[in-house]
Amino acid sequence: MSVSAVAADRSVCAPLPVLGRDVTVPLVTGGEVDYAALDYAASAPALQRVWDDVAAYAPYYGSVHRGAGYLSQLSTDLFENSRRTISDFLGCRADDQVVFTRSTTDSLNLLAAVLPQNTRVFVFETEHHASLLPWEQRADTPVTYLNAPRTPQQAVDTLEKALAEREPYGPALVCVTGASNVTGELWPVRELAAAAHAHGARIVLDAAQLAPHHPVDIAELNVDWAAFSGHKLYAPFGAGVLAGRADWLQDAEPYLAGGGASRKVSRRTDGGVDVEWHTTAARHEAGSPNVIGAYSIASACQALTEAGFDGLVAREQSLIARVRAGLAEVPEVKVLSLFGDDAPRVGVISFVVEGWNSSHFAAALSAEYGIGVRDGLFCAHPLVRTLLGSDPQDPGECGAPEAAPGERSLNAIRVSFGAGTPDEHIDRFLHAIKELVANGARWNYHTEDGRCVPAPAARSAV
């Protein structure tokens, strides 16, 4: 479907209903406006469908596993059926496991904890901190950080060279994002997986930014694991997923020790205890699970599948084209990119504005136009600093401005959107960009507790 066809057929490609679509926020200049949530890459609004499903289940909430009561059995069925729904959504293989976690970060830390001893990890400096940092928590896990590639093919070539040169030759893991949380650009996951396997390595996909925008098929992509968070997939409540091969998960000690992970516990004659751990996903799900979180993810997976990814992707691509075209009309705006203008991408775009501190600009979008975006380094410090022409080793703080309003700072602005974004939010955003660049802010701003905020009752002279 062409962009023009998508724009013309709103009945087919209408935004999905999400919570917060009718919320109004005050403007410093007076009055109120419907809030334009354009920070999907951080946390997407919950689908109304998900909220309704959870509300319908809430009266039947009960303990899971081993409970004799009706509500316990109902909750157990709901929990395990959610696992199967998510497995289908991810295209898992027959012997893959779906482990419920708290988030993408938790999922990748779980995988880091179960790596065989002396596994060498290969990760690009372009990764989100969730997939950049967990691996060094173990002293026996050497990590090779790969420089930011400038083309998809360069990413594959860089990985192949690094894997071929590794010594000693032993277990290895590659960690790569599916879609950048900074530029939105899609990575060549299938090709990277082929390169990893050709050199005897395994690969884990950080699908946090990919899964809300595109189908993710573990078997088709031929990745060993995939991790993602519910709160980016239109499902709140602090739950995540690690899905993939079972062997390393089964062979390792449980991520957490406790009830649920243990299958049998007995006293020894010497006074200690012997433990037989589960070999299923329960091995790494000790404690009472987040049933509502798991169910909300499954509900979101089902809602996106039923809505049809073809139509959702087509509409999002039309929004991306409109945003990029609108930003291109403002010479002062520089869009950040690794792979160039023609690279396929999801609805995540980061940019800087000449003459503006990014935090000041984001604060003005919020206070004067009711638009919520992100500013900072987006928990991807080395990548953002590379894209801004700074040393990727320079320190920085997530979201905290490093310069006063009007001064240059090494941070950026990120706009992100998805299946619930109305056209009006995009139109208002582009109008605000052009108006702020042309006329300046209508209010004065200052830094307070590390954030750029409107000054009390102090209009700008502009």
Q: Are 112 and 133 in contact (CB under 8 A)?
A: no
Cis ω for the linkage preceding 149 (within 30 of 0) = no
Q: Are 183 and 148 in contact (CB under 8 A)?
A: no
pLDDT at 462: 45
Cα 23 to the center of its chain, rounded Å: 24
CA distance 286 to 277: 10
Helix axes 70-89, 291-307, angle to 10 degrees: 40
pLDDT at 35: 98
Strands 143-146 and 120-124: parallel
Mean pLDDT, residues 139-153 taken together? 96
pLDDT in tens, 101-139: 999 999 999 999 999 999 999 999 999 999 999 999 888
Q: Rg of the chain's alpha carbons, rounded to an integer?
A: 23
pLDDT at 458: 56
CA distance 304 to 16: 9
CA distance 83 to 352: 41
Q: What percent of the chain has pLDDT over 70?
A: 92
CA distance 13 to 7: 8
Q: Residues near 444 by Cβ (< 8 Å), separated by ≥ 6?
A: 454, 455, 458, 459, 460
pLDDT at 391: 61
Q: Which of 118-132, 338-352, 384-398 comes out lowest in average pLDDT?
A: 384-398
Compute the CA torsion angle 278, 279, 280, 283 (nearest 10 deg). 50
Q: Which of 274-278, 311-315, 387-391, 428-432 comes out lowest in average pLDDT?
A: 387-391
pLDDT at 355: 92
Residue 5 pLDDT level (bands cut at 50, 70, 90): very low
Q: What percent of the chain has pLDDT over 90?
A: 86
Q: Are 200 and 170 in contact (CB under 8 A)?
A: no
pLDDT in tens, 172-221: 999 999 999 999 999 999 999 999 999 999 999 999 999 999 999 999 99
Q: Which of 248-262, 286-300, 354-368, 447-461 comes out lowest in average pLDDT?
A: 447-461
Strand order across the 412-416 sheet: 333-335, 348-353, 412-416, 374-376
Q: Are 50 and 58 in contact (CB under 8 A)?
A: no
Q: How many CA atoms lie within 13 A of 76 on its CB side?
A: 13
Q: Are 299 and 145 in contact (CB under 8 A)?
A: no
Q: Are 374 and 363 in contact (CB under 8 A)?
A: no
Mean pLDDT of the chain: 92
- Give the Cβ contact number of residue 167 at 10 Å: 6
Best CA proximity match to 178, nearest among 170, 191, 187, 167: 187
pLDDT at 134: 96
Kind plus residue range of the DSSP H or E element containing 111? helix 104-114
Print the SS3 string covering 185-224. Answer: EECCHHHHHHHHHHCCCEEEEECCCCCCCCCCCHHHHCCC
Catalytic residue chosen out of the listed positions 92, 175, 301, 379: 379
Best CA proximity match to 177, nearest among 190, 189, 169, 160: 189
Residue 361 has pLDDT above 60, yes or no: yes
Q: Does residue 13 have an active-site annotation?
A: no
pLDDT at 392: 55
Q: Are 366 and 458 in contact (CB under 8 A)?
A: no
pLDDT at 148: 96
CA distance 264 to 255: 17
pLDDT at 138: 87
Q: Which of 92-106, 321-335, 382-396 comes out lowest in average pLDDT?
A: 382-396
Amino acid (1-letter code) at residue 323: V
pLDDT at 459: 60
Mean pLDDT, residues 155-178 taken together? 95
pLDDT at 389: 87
pLDDT in tens, 264-307: 999 999 989 999 999 999 999 999 999 999 999 999 999 999 99
Phi-psi region of 44 (alpha: psi -120 to 50; beta: other; left: phi over 0): beta
pLDDT in tens, 305-314: 999 999 999 9
Q: What angle do CA 219, 223, 227 make, to 5 degrees?
A: 105
Residue 164 has pLDDT above 50, yes or no: yes
Mean pLDDT, residues 77-92 taken together? 98
pLDDT in tens, 11-36: 346 899 999 999 999 999 999 999 99
Tokens for 365, please give them. 């979008």
